[in-house]
Amino acid sequence: MRKLITIAALLAATPAHPQASANVAAGRAQPSPLAPSEIVNAAPKDDWMAIPPSDLLVMDLAPDAKDKPRRVVIQLMPAPFSQGWVSNIRKLAAAKFWDGTSINRVQDNYVVQWGDANAEDKTKARKLPGDLAVVLQANYSSRLGKQEVVYSLQSAHPLGQDFITDGAGSKTRWYPIHPSRDAYAEGTAILAGWPIAVAPRATATDKELELSGWPVHCYGMVGVGRDMPPNTGTGAELYAVIGHAPRHLDRNIALVGRVIEGIEHLSSLPRGTGALGFYETPEERTAIVSIRIGSEVSGLPAYEYLSTESESFARYADAHANRRDAFFIRPAGGADICNIPVPVRRAK
C-alpha cells in the first residue's frame, strides 16, 4: 500500500541499522552479484540519455609536458538550478572571455580554480561582458514544485525510486537516497541525473509539501567563485571539486555543472603552495587555451548519461550501497549521495 507521508514521518520510519535496511532495499531493486561498473556496462541502450552539446562547456588547457592535449568537458546544470549563473557562463564563453586565462589555484583535497588571474587588479583585469546578470543568493536553492512526496511507508526503503510532481502536474521520477542519513540536509536525492539535497516545507494542506532543492558539492562538481556575501559571483571565476565532498559549501556558493570527462587534467595538477592553494608565481599556472560551449566545438564526441529513472540506475545505486561482488565481505547497507555518481560516457 502506498501512502502519502511527510519526509519527517519517513525519517522516523527509516530503520536505524544500515545492515537491516539493506534487506529492505533489496526488495525494490533485485540484488545482484555484479559490481556497479558491470551493471552500467550491461545497461540497455535505451537507458542512456543524450546530453545536448549545447549543455556542455569544453575547456582546452595548454598541452602537458609531453605535449599531450588536455581537454576538460563540463556538463552545465539544468533548470531549475543556478540558471542565472549558467546564463552568464554562456555569455562569457561566447565572448571568449577565458581564452588566455589560467588555472590559478589547486588546493589538495578541495578545489581547482580558474579564471582571470588579474581579476583583483583593476588596472589589469579583463573586461567582463556588459550584460552579465547579478544573481541573488536566493537562487542557491530552487523550488521543485508544490508536490506530494509519495513513499511506500511499509518498506521505508532508504534507496528507491519515486516520483515528484511539479506545479504544472508534470511527474518526474526521482531517486531519494537515505533521506535520514545525510549530515547536511533533511534529504538527498538524484533528480533528472543530478545529485541534489532537499528540504520540505509544510503547506496549508498537510498532504502536500513545498519542496525546495539545491545541487550538492560532490567530487567533480563545478561552482562559481565569489567575493564576500552578498556577492554571488558572475561565473567568470570557476572551480571544480577534487577532494572529499565539501558539502559545507552547499547553498553558500552556486554550483553550475560537473566535469564529465578529463577531471584528471585538473585533479593531478601540482598543488599550489600559497594560501588556499593559489600558485605563488605566474609560471606555475596552467594556461587555458579556450573555453567554448560544446555546440561550437567541431568533432566533439556525443555524451550520454545513465537515466536515473531507469531500472539499471536503481540496480547501480543499490549495488553501490550493497557491494555483493566477490571482493566484498560486508555490504555497507547504505551510501552517501556523493558515492553514487551518475554514470556518464561517450555515446556508443
Shortest separation between residue 337's beta carbon and a copy of itself, angstroms: 8
DSSP string, 153-190: TTT--SB--EEEE-TTS-EEEEEEE-TT--SSSSEEEE
Q: Give the CA radius of gyration of the chain.
A: 21
For the bound state, the minimum distance from the C-beta of residue 229 to a copy of itself, rounded and expressed in Å, comes to 5
On whether the CB atoms of residues 145 and 159 are closer than 8 A, the answer is no
53 or 341: whose CB is closer to a copy of itself? 341
Interface pick for a copy of itself out of 260, 263, 288, 314 (rule CB under 8 A): 263
Q: Residue 124: CB partners within 8 Å, gap ≥ 6?
A: 118
Candidates 118, 139, 172, 267; binder of a copy of itself (CB under 8 A) is 267
Name the minimum Å distance from CB 298 to a copy of itself: 26
Tell which one of 336, 342, 343, 344 touches a copy of itself (CB under 8 A). Answer: 336
Count other Cβ atoms within 10 Å, centred on residue 346: 12
Identity of the residue, 92 or 189, whose beta carbon is nearer to a copy of itself in the bound complex:
189
Stated length of the chain:
348
**Helix ranges (DSSP H) in 176-282:** 264-267
From 228, 281, 283, 298, residue interacting with a copy of itself (rule: CB under 8 A): 228
10 Å CB burial of residue 14 (0-12, 13-18, 19+) is: middle
Among 13, 7, 119, 26, smallest CA distance to 322 is for: 26
The reply on whether position 346 binds a copy of itself by CB under 8 A is no
Select from 26-34, 161-169, 260-268, 302-310 the region that touches a copy of itself (CB under 8 A).
260-268
Residues that bind a copy of itself (CB under 8 A): 8, 11-12, 16-18, 65, 106, 108-109, 137, 140, 177-178, 180-186, 218-220, 228-230, 243-248, 250-252, 263-264, 267-271, 320-321, 323, 326-330, 332-336, 338-339
